[in-house]
Amino acid sequence: MNAIESEILLQVENLRVSFRTGKQSFFEAVKGVSFHIPVNKTVALVGESGSGKSVSALALMGLLPQGSALIDPESVIRFEGKSLFEMTEKERRALCGSKLSMVFQEPMSSLNPVFTVGYQIGEVLRFHKGMSSTEARERSIALLDEVGIPDPSLKVDAYPHQLSGGQQQRVMIAMAIAGEPRLLIADEPTTALDVTIQRQIIELIQALQRRHRMSVLFITHDLQLVSEIADDVIVMRHGEICEKAPVQDIFAHPSHPYTKALLLCRPPMNERPFHLPVIEDVMQAGGKPVSKESERIRGYDAGDEPVLEVRHLSKNFEIRTGLFRKRVFPAVKDVSFVLPRKKTLGIVGESGSGKTTLGLTLMRLHKASGGEVLFNGRDILSMTEKEFYPCKRRIQIVFQNPYASLNPRFTVGQILTEPLSIHRIGSSAAERRDMAFEWLRKVGLPEAAFFRYPHEFSGGQRQRIAIARCLTMRPEVLVCDESVSALDVSVQAQILNLLQDLQDEFGLSYLFISHDLSVVKYMADEVMVMQHGQVVEMVGSDEIYGNPRHPYTQTLLAAVPKDKYSLGIG
pLDDT per position as a tens digit, 408-437: 999 999 999 999 999 999 999 999 999 999
Cα–Cα distance for residue pair 155/148, rounded to 1 Å: 11
Please check whether residue 411 lies inside any domain of the structure.
Answer: yes
Rounded to an integer, the average pLDDT of 350-366 is 90
Residue type for position 215: S
- 160 assigned to some structural domain: no
- CA–CA separation, 389 and 556 (whole Å): 38
DSSP E strands, 450-550: 477-481, 509-513, 526-531, 534-540
pLDDT tens for 235-287 read 999 999 999 999 999 998 999 999 998 888 888 878 888 888 888 888 888 77
Residue 472 forms part of a structural domain: yes
Asked if residue 512 and residue 456 are part of one domain, the reply reads yes
Residue 391 has pLDDT above 80, yes or no: yes
Q: Is residue 507 situated within a structural domain? A: yes
In the chain, % of residues over pLDDT 70: 96
DSSP 456: G
Question: What pLDDT does residue 194 have?
Answer: 76
Asked if residue 347 and residue 269 are part of one domain, the reply reads no
| CA pair distance 280, 204, nearest whole angstrom | 36
Average pLDDT over residues 370-382: 95
What is the share, in percent, of the chain residues with pLDDT greater than 90? 56
Q: Are 402 and 486 in contact (CB under 8 A)?
A: yes
What is the rounded CA–CA span in Å between residue 267 and residue 261?
A: 12
AA letter at 522: Y
> Within this chain, do residues 496 and 409 fall inside the same structural domain, yes or no?
yes
Predicted confidence band of residue 2 (pLDDT cuts 50, 70, 90)? very low
pLDDT at 45: 96
Q: Kindly report, residue by residue over 457-508, the tens digit of the pLDDT.
A: 876 688 889 989 998 998 999 999 988 876 778 878 888 888 898 898 888 9
Higher-pLDDT residue of 95 and 291 is 95
How far is the C-alpha of 104 from the C-alpha of 111, rounded, in Å? 10
Distance of alpha carbon 537 from alpha carbon 529, whole angstroms = 5
Supply the CATH number for residue 522's domain: 3.40.50.300
Torsion 416-418-419-423 (CA) sign: positive
Residue 249 and residue 275 in one domain: no
Shared domain for 273 and 347, answered yes or no, is no
Tens of pLDDT, residues 509-551: 999 998 888 899 999 999 999 998 999 999 998 888 888 999 9
Give the gyration radius of the chain's Cα atoms. 25
Same domain, 277 and 348: no
Quick check: 3 pLDDT over 50?
no
Residue 568 within a domain: no
CB 527 within 8 A of CB 539: yes
pLDDT band at 48 (very low <50, low <70, confident <90, very high): confident
What's the domain count of the chain? Answer: 3
pLDDT reported for residue 291: 64
User: For residues 563 and 227, is the Cβ–Cβ distance under 8 A?
Assistant: yes
Question: What domain range includes position 428?
Answer: 343-354+389-556
Q: Do 410 and 527 sit in the same domain of this protein?
A: yes
Decide if 133 is inside a domain.
no
- Out of 277-281, 326-330, 550-554, 559-563, pick the least confident: 559-563
Specify the pLDDT at position 218. 96
Residue-wise pLDDT tens digits, 19-39: 988 778 889 999 999 999 999
pLDDT at 565 > cutoff 70: no
Looking at the DSSP bridge assignments, the partners of residue 100 are 96, 183
**For residue 237, what are the β-bridge partners?**
240
Q: Are residues 243 and 260 in the same domain?
A: no
In a shared domain, residues 279 and 347: no
Mean pLDDT value across the chain: 89
Asked if the model's pLDDT at residue 105 lies above 80, the reply is no
Termini Cα distance of the chain: 43
- Please tell me the predicted confidence (pLDDT) of residue 564: 61
Q: What is the pTM of this model?
A: 0.83
- Considering the domain architecture, whether residues 225 and 281 belong to the same structural domain is answered as no
Average pLDDT for residues 562-566, to the nearest whole number? Answer: 63
Is pLDDT at 450 greater than 50 in this prediction? yes
Comparing CA positions, the residue from 337, 331, 328 lying closest to residue 314 is: 331
Q: What contacts 302, CB < 8 A, 6 or more positions away?
A: none
- Is residue 372 scored above 90 in pLDDT? yes
Say how far apart CA 325 and CA 319 lie, in whole Å: 9
Position 168 in a domain = no
Statement to judge: residues 513 and 454 lie in one domain: yes
Q: Is the domain of 532 the same as that of 412?
A: yes
Residue 137 has pLDDT above 60, yes or no: yes
Asked if the structure places residue 263 within a domain, the reply is yes
- The Cα–Cα gap between 129 and 511 comes to 50
